[in-house]
Amino acid sequence: MSPQELSDISEKWKIIKDLFREYYRKRPLKLPQDLELREIAIQVFDSPTYIRHKAFQTPDQLYKFIYLKIPRHIYYSSAKYSNPAAPSMDEKGWLGSDLVFDIDADHIPGCRQVHIYVCKDCKYSSSYKISKCPNCNSNNIEIIDLSLDDLCIDLAKNQVGLLIHALDVELGFSNFSIYFSGHRGFHIHVPLEEELAKLSSDERREIVDYLKGVGLSRDLILFSSKSRTRKATPALPRISNGGWRTRVSRIMLSKDLKKELEMYIKNMDILPSYKDMKRYLKDLNEALEQGKIYLDEKVTIDTSRLIRIPGSLNGKAGLIVIEVNDIESFRFNQELSPFNEIMMRVRYETSIPQVKILGMSIGPRHRGDYEVLPGAIAIWLALKDICTVLGITR
């Protein structure tokens, strides 16, 4: 990059960097007790590369580093190391890792994202898929995730509900925290200590497979060998049966069931008839599909994964990686941004169709248009290279 280009980039991000700095001045990070054992990594605004293998003894030292660098993204390692600043994994001395799960709305079937296709050379944009720019013939096309349906977040919340129930009631991990990822998904952290933290990747994969239903056998779950005669039918699972039977029971209870069956599933001392049991087998098959949790398995299996620090800002969307105490009442709106109380003047660098972002309808807008937008929306668009923030109007 030429010095001119570098100075343009740093000019472009100046206002946002100042806002990020101001945000981190409030010391908003939720840091682990064993901070000194974690690797810290950041990405800054002016370069796409990671600054890795950092380690800090105290929060003060970490914040000093943050004020100096103003990270666009900041992560810590799910792993604990005896020497977290060492440059190679061999030298770091792995002591174990927390268990981390990632649910991304865009990986869930049924979630529809609003993409636009932007020519990186001339900024021409299209809502339809293009592989070549019709304006300047360039092949340099970038897909930008402009926004996502509210339905996507609802689907992700539903998945989080399934996951935390499975972690707690089935696998017995009752100590976990849920975080909104600051963009379009959720992270679930299960802190592990000592021997448990030393689970290998293969062992973690077994947990992921369990949650995702990999290798799920309907016959084994329903003990089909016990009902192989024509005179018997598999019994519906009950909520306290355990394993996938518990998961499926919860899903069955959300369906329209005969009272008697509902009571049976809830463990009451009642036995539905052969006919009723048989009647609901179709719903049961459906429930077995609905119980599969859409996790990004790479995140869980990797024992040296970098994860976003709770309380930090996600540099893809400008929202806070915030702890969610009750997943049901989580709302995807502008309040997730620390900048929701300011207004910003922006210039569009790319045309966009009409779109709903964080609950607000905007557009269509053309390249070169000016607009004053709420801070949360302006920063969302700016971090996706749709617009440039020109100033703040408080």
Q: Are 93 and 64 in contact (CB under 8 A)?
A: no
Q: Which two tokens stand for residue 154?
A: 């609802």
Residue closer to another protein (CB basis): 242 or 364: 242
Q: How far is the CB of 238 from another protein (least distance, A)?
A: 7
* Interaction of residue 277 with another protein, rule CB under 8 A: yes
**Inter-axis angle of helices 243-253 and 150-165, to 10 degrees?**
140
Q: Are 374 and 332 in contact (CB under 8 A)?
A: no
Of 241, 304, 333, 340, which one interacts with another protein (CB under 8 A)?
241
Q: Which of 296, 302, 369, 385 is catalytic?
A: 296
* Interaction of residue 268 with another protein, rule CB under 8 A: no
Q: Which two tokens stand for residue 102?
A: 């990632």
**Inter-axis angle of helices 14-25 and 59-69, to 10 degrees?**
170
Instruction: Note the residue count of the chain.
Output: 394
* Interaction of residue 234 with another protein, rule CB under 8 A: yes
Per CB under 8 A, the segment of 35-43, 133-141, 168-176, 364-372 that binds another protein is 168-176
* Interaction of residue 235 with another protein, rule CB under 8 A: yes
Q: Which two tokens stand for residue 138?
A: 């360039």
Query: In the annotation, is 104 catalytic?
Result: yes
* Interaction of residue 40 with another protein, rule CB under 8 A: no
Q: How far is the CB of 251 from another protein (least distance, A)?
A: 16
* Interaction of residue 202 with another protein, rule CB under 8 A: yes
Q: How far is the CB of 92 from another protein (least distance, A)?
A: 19
- Beta-sheet pairing, 50-54 with 343-348: unpaired
Q: Are 312 and 336 in contact (CB under 8 A)?
A: no
* Interaction of residue 273 with another protein, rule CB under 8 A: yes
Residue closer to another protein (CB basis): 64 or 258: 258
Number of Cβ within a 10 Å radius of residue 129: 9
**Site residues (CB under 8 A) for another protein, limited to 320-379:** none
The one-letter amino acid at 392? I
Q: Residue 143's beta-bridge partner residues?
A: 117
Comparing C-alpha atoms, which of 191, 156, 113 is closest to residue 330?
Answer: 156
Of 172, 282, 325, 394, which one interacts with another protein (CB under 8 A)?
172
What residues are annotated to the active site? Answer: 102, 104, 296
Residues lying near another protein in the complex (CB under 8 A): 169-173, 196, 199-200, 202-203, 205-207, 209-210, 213-217, 220-221, 223, 226-227, 229, 231-235, 238, 240-246, 271-274, 277
